[in-house]
């Protein structure tokens, strides 16, 4: 592909921006948004919001469009009309549009197993024989947990092909496909690879040819290194990201230049003007992205619901949001340095785009100005009369987690206990409540944010909590691991406290009596305490590494596993030493309680690390 024809000179860019700022027609000025704002008052409303909430951002851009007009486009803070932002997961909308284009052409069956479009044996970690359909991918029901292996890199030379990236980062399949929604970057990228296999062209090229070029989106890059658009690549290199270091305090945080290996899931970069062109196409009749108007209508139909409720969670990849006055479709996004949101309402013919440098409120609050707040109580489903069929109480674990491998502890600690409250509601992890609406559907509320919570059972009979399209499973194995993990942390804390106490007291005794009290096996007991501290430190270090990489590398996993296996060996040796010392003739009877306690601690420590699968660096 010739990438140079997409380079947009600054002069042409300025001219395009002037054209998009065309004054509203008299008819448009008389119309109002679903929230009740007159079209000609939209600029003042957004600008007033930006002024009132100046502490909530360092830089953001927003655009409100109708099918025929650009009602508002503006940049605030450290931004201008040529500032480029990373779309994050809004990028997935390009994947789903591509899929629907191929479906429209009869080249792709949404209900066929996607493996029929992939090379033989491409997916090598699936546990279940059930087909994984494109509809499953669009509803995030492929059955996968979160990726363990790094999805991002800082080195452009380390970027693999999409096929290699998907092969290297394939996550473990936790549940049968088509049963429980669990947001999956991998599933979206796999759908893009299906597009590659069907069309025979790289996904980057396909998107430019069939989406960006027809819409005149000349300020957008799709490739992870932005190499498909030199102008965007240069502008992105000039961006300084910001982090909120305190209330209203935004601090420069460098370029935050991360390269996403499975790039169709979140690597698109561009200007607010280009995102607005894409959003506008989705409210135009006919939609210029499809040949038949029925295709977009089909795309807007639900493919998954929140548990047993009638609340849609996914519509062929799009995320619906119900407010008190309308239903919008679109997607939100977030990367290391940016956040975004694109919402459109086919009924009113309006669309809102927000791109932000950093993470904050504007991506959610600006669309709410136009469409109403989807998290308000007014948008909650109405109550019914049916009694629950499932006892919802218990401890749930997010399916979007690393249930296997060296980072399993992160999913274990991210437990969601559900307990009954005295007022008849459900207490969710001590931070939220859920009020029964009827059947197995509840109204979830946390800090004024409302959502739908519904309970079902999976094919293995386990209770599943679906919170707004994200599944949580009540799993005994994970619960047992949580208990062992808690005991391990307690033992580690006690061991560290004992080490410090003995060091201080031992030093004091030696100073006063010129002797240091010792007893048999003390060396191994001390070694085990140090090993526990080392194993926890290694885990914390590994978790810290995964942030900028969105996962860990195989080398990091192997080193971590080696450290943890060594620690388990120390625990085993300490237990053997304690048994020998307790039974030795010269052993002190008064110390038997110490030996028995330490034997128990070593057994619990080994069991905890085995349950946490710290040794498992293959097959996850």
CATH of the domain at 126: 3.40.710.10
Co-location of 458 and 490 in the same domain: no
User: Using one digit for the tens of pLDDT, what is the confidence trace for 265-310?
Assistant: 999 999 999 999 999 999 999 999 999 999 999 999 999 999 988 8
Percent helix, percent strand, percent coil in the chain, to nearest 5: 45, 20, 35
Position 382 in a domain: no
Co-location of 159 and 251 in the same domain: yes
- Specify the range with the lowest mean pLDDT, choosing from 16-30, 281-295, 305-319, 501-515: 16-30
Co-location of 470 and 482 in the same domain: no
CA distance 20 to 73: 8
Token pair listed for 499:
């080490």
Co-location of 457 and 489 in the same domain: no
Position 106 in a domain: yes
Give the total number of structural domains in the chain.
Answer: 3
CA distance 78 to 604: 53
Q: What are phi and psi for residue 505, nearest 5 degrees?
A: -65, -40
pLDDT grade, residue 11 (50/70/90)?
Answer: very low
Which of 342, 372, 402 is the C-terminal boundary of a domain? 372
Which of 474, 509, 524 is the C-terminal boundary of a domain? 474
Co-location of 421 and 288 in the same domain: no
- Specify the range with the lowest mean pLDDT, choosing from 28-42, 125-139, 439-453, 577-591: 577-591
Greater pLDDT, 459 or 478: 478
Co-location of 431 and 346 in the same domain: no
Position 517 in a domain: yes
Do residues 145 and 172 touch, judged by C-beta distance below 8 A? yes
Biggest alpha carbon–alpha carbon distance for the chain: 101
Position 40 in a domain: no
For 505-544, the DSSP string reads: HHHHHHHHHS-----TTHHHHHHHHHHHHHHHHHHHHHHH
User: Using one digit for the tens of pLDDT, what is the confidence trace for 170-207?
Assistant: 999 999 999 999 999 999 999 999 999 999 999 999 99
Position 261 in a domain: yes
Average pLDDT estimate for 125-147 = 94
Co-location of 79 and 97 in the same domain: yes
Position 548 in a domain: yes
Q: Which domain holds residue 414?
A: 394-474
Counting residues of the chain whose pLDDT is more than 70, the rounded percentage is 90
Token pair listed for 253:
């945080």
pLDDT grade, residue 590 (50/70/90)?
Answer: low
What pLDDT is recorded for position 605? 95
User: Using one digit for the tens of pLDDT, what is the confidence trace for 320-329?
Assistant: 999 999 999 9
CA distance 321 to 310: 13
Q: Is the dihedral of CA 456, 460, 463, 467 positive or negative?
A: negative
Position 34 in a domain: no
Q: What is the mean pLDDT of the chain?
A: 89
Token pair listed for 385:
């009369």
Co-location of 173 and 264 in the same domain: yes
Co-location of 246 and 336 in the same domain: yes
Q: What are phi and psi for residue 457, nearest 5 degrees?
A: -125, 145
Instruction: Give the number of residues written for the chain.
Output: 620
Average pLDDT estimate for 237-260 = 94
What pLDDT is recorded for position 383? 67
User: Using one digit for the tens of pLDDT, what is the confidence trace for 412-426?
Assistant: 988 999 999 988 899
Q: Please state whether the predicted TM-score (pTM) of the whole model is above 0.85.
A: yes
Co-location of 77 and 165 in the same domain: yes
CATH number, domain at 462?
2.40.128
Co-location of 502 and 431 in the same domain: no
Which of 420, 454, 474 is the C-terminal boundary of a domain? 474
Co-location of 347 and 360 in the same domain: yes
Position 184 in a domain: yes
Do residues 276 and 81 touch, judged by C-beta distance below 8 A? no
Residue carrying the six token digits 């959003």: 279
What pLDDT is recorded for position 499? 79
């Amino acid at each position: 592909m010739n990438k140079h024809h997409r380079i947009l000179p600054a002069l042409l860019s300025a001219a395009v921006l002037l054209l998009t700022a065309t004054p509203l027609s008299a008819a448009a000025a008389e119309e109002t948004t679903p929230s009740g704002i007159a079209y000609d008052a939209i600029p003042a409303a957004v600008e007033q919001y930006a002024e009132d909430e100046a502490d909530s951002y360092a830089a953001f851009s927003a655009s409100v469009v109708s099918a025929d007009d650009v009602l508002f486009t503006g940049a605030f803070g450290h931004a201008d009309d040529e500032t480029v932002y990373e779309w994050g997961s809004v990028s997935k909308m390009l994947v789903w549009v591509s899929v629907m284009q191929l479906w429209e052409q009869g080249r792709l069956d949404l209900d066929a197993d996607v493996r029929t479009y992939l090379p033989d044996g491409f997916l090598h970690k699936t546990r279940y024989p059930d087909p994984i359909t494109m509809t499953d991918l669009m509803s995030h029901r492929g059955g996968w947990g979160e990726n363990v292996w790094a999805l991002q890199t800082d080195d452009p030379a380390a970027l693999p092909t999409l096929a290699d990236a998907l092969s290297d980062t394939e996550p473990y399949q936790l549940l049968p496909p088509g049963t429980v929604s669990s947001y999956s970057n991998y599933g979206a990228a796999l759908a893009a690879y299906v597009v590659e296999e069907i069309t025979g062209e790289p996904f980057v090229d396909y998107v430019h040819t069939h989406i960006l070029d027809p819409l005149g989106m000349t300020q957008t890059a799709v490739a992870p290194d932005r190499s498909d658009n030199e102008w965007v690549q240069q502008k992105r290199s000039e961006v300084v990201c910001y982090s909120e270091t305190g209330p209203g305090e935004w601090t420069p945080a460098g370029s935050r230049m991360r390269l996403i290996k499975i790039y169709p899931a979140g690597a698109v970069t561009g200007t607010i003007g280009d995102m607005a062109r894409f959003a506008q196409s989705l409210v135009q009749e006919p939609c210029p992205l499809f040949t038949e108007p029925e295709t977009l209508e089909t795309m807007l139909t639900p493919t998954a619901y929140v548990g047993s409720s009638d609340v849609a969670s996914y519509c062929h990849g799009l995320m619906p949001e119900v407010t008190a006055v309308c239903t919008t479709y679109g997607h939100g996004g977030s990367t290391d340095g940016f956040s975004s949101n694109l919402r459109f309402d086919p009924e009113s013919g309006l669309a809102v785009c927000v791109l932000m440098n950093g993470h904050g409120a504007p991506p959610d609050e600006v669309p709410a100005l136009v469409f109403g707040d989807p998290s308000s109580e007014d948008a909650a489903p109405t109550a019914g009369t049916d009694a629950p069929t499932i006892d919802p109480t218990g401890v749930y674990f997010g399916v979007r987690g690393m249930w296997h491998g060296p980072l399993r502890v992160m999913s274990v600690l991210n437990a969601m206990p559900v307990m009954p409250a005295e007022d008849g509601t459900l207490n969710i992890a001590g931070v939220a409540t859920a009020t029964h609406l009827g059947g197995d559907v509840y109204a979830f509320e946390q800090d004024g944010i409302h959502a739908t919570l519904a309970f079902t059972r999976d094919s293995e009979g386990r209770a599943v909590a679906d919170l707004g399209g994200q599944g949580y499973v009540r799993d005994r194995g994970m619960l047992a691991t949580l208990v062992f993990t808690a005991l391990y942390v307690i033992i580690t804390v006690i061991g560290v406290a004992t080490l410090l106490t003995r060091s201080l007291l031992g030093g004091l005794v030696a100073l006063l009596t010129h002797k240091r009290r010792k007893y048999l096996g003390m060396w191994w007991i001390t070694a085990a305490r140090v090993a526990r501290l080392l194993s926890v430190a290694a885990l914390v270090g590994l978790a810290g590494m995964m942030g900028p990489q969105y996962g860990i590398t195989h080398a990091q996993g192997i080193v971590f596993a080696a450290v943890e296996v060594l620690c388990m060996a120390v625990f085993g040796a300490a237990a053997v030493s304690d048994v020998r010392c307790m039974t030795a003739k010269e052993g002190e009877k008064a110390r038997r309680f110490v030996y028995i306690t330490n034997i128990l601690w070593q057994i619990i420590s080994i069991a905890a690390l085995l349950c946490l699968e710290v040794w498992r660096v293959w097959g996850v």
